Structure formats: C-alpha cells, structure tokens
Amino acid sequence: MSDTSRSPSGTNWPSQGSKPLQNATKGVEALKDKVGDALDRGKSGLADSAHTAGDSLNDDVAKLREDMAAIQKTLSKFASEAGNEAVKTAQNVGSAVASQVGDVASQVGAAASEYASSASQQVKTFASEMENMARKNPLGTIGATLLVGVVIGMMSRGRA
C-alpha cells in the first residue's frame, strides 16, 4: 500500500496512523469548547449588561418622573403666583384709577363751584347795577319795563 489513502470525499490523506487524526480531532474539540465557552461568557456578559442597563433605565425613568412632578409643581406655583400678582396689579390699577377719577371729580366740582360762585356774584353785581340805575332814573326804568312788556305781549300773540 501507498502512504496515502482515499477519504470518502475522494481526497488523499496521509495515512501515517490515527494519531495525527486524533490530535486534530482533539484540537477541533478543544477549539469548539473554547468557542462555546467564549459564546457563553459573551451571552452572560450581554445578559448582565442588559440587566444593568435595564436597572439604570428604570432608575433614570423614576428620576425623570420625580423631576417632571417637581417641574409641574413649580409651574403650578408660578401660575398661581402670577395670577395673584395679576389680581393685585388689577386692584392697584383700579384703586389708582378710582383715586384719579375722584381727584378729577373733586377738581371739576371745585371748578364748578367757583364758576357758580362767580356767576352768582355777577348776577348780584348786575342786579345791584340795575337797582342803582332804577334809583337814578326811575322814569327810564318804567319806560324800559313797559317796552319789555309790550314786546313780550306781541310775541305771545303771534303764537296763539
């Protein structure tokens, strides 16, 4: 026989005994075990990482919920305080306007009082001048009074 033998696939293998084949088989088995162990360690590492990431994510989500609740509380407090400040401002503006209107009304009242007083004084002055004229010229006063009576009479006849 020759030193090569045919394998079932048709390739020629050296036939120096089964020892090299056993060594190769043992090497393949060892490599297979190493690859399997590496895959198992990888799976375990991925599972641990996924578990750790999940726990971290849960913690982060819980913190985010707490932060959102705090933000909501802060915004609610801000809205409440802003509303209170708006009410106070509206009240202050209302009282300032009322005060100004009251001041203006009192100034208008004072001015009207002054005008009324002035008009009253002028009427008194006019009446006293008429009285003085009537004392100085009684016949002219009677004539003027008669003339005014006739004019009023003519005007009332035209209407009737």
Averaged confidence pLDDT in the chain = 82
pLDDT recorded at residue 2: 46
Q: Which of 5-9, 78-82, 137-141 has the lowest mean pLDDT?
A: 5-9
Q: Where are the beta strands (DSSP E) in 27-106?
A: none
What whole-number distance in Å separates Cα of residue 63 and Cα of residue 143? Answer: 108
Place 160 in a pLDDT band, splitting at 50, 70 and 90: low
Q: Is the predicted pLDDT of residue 132 greater than 80, yes or no? A: yes
Q: Which of 5-19, 117-131, 141-155 has the lowest mean pLDDT?
A: 5-19
Cα three-residue angle 33-31-3, rounded to 5 degrees: 130
Q: Is the predicted pLDDT of residue 63 greater than 50, yes or no? A: yes
For residue 93, the one-letter residue type is V
Domain range summary for the chain, segments of one domain joined by +? 18-137
**Does the pTM exceed 0.75?**
no
* CB distance 5 to 15 below 8 Å: yes
Cα separation of the two ends of the chain: 168
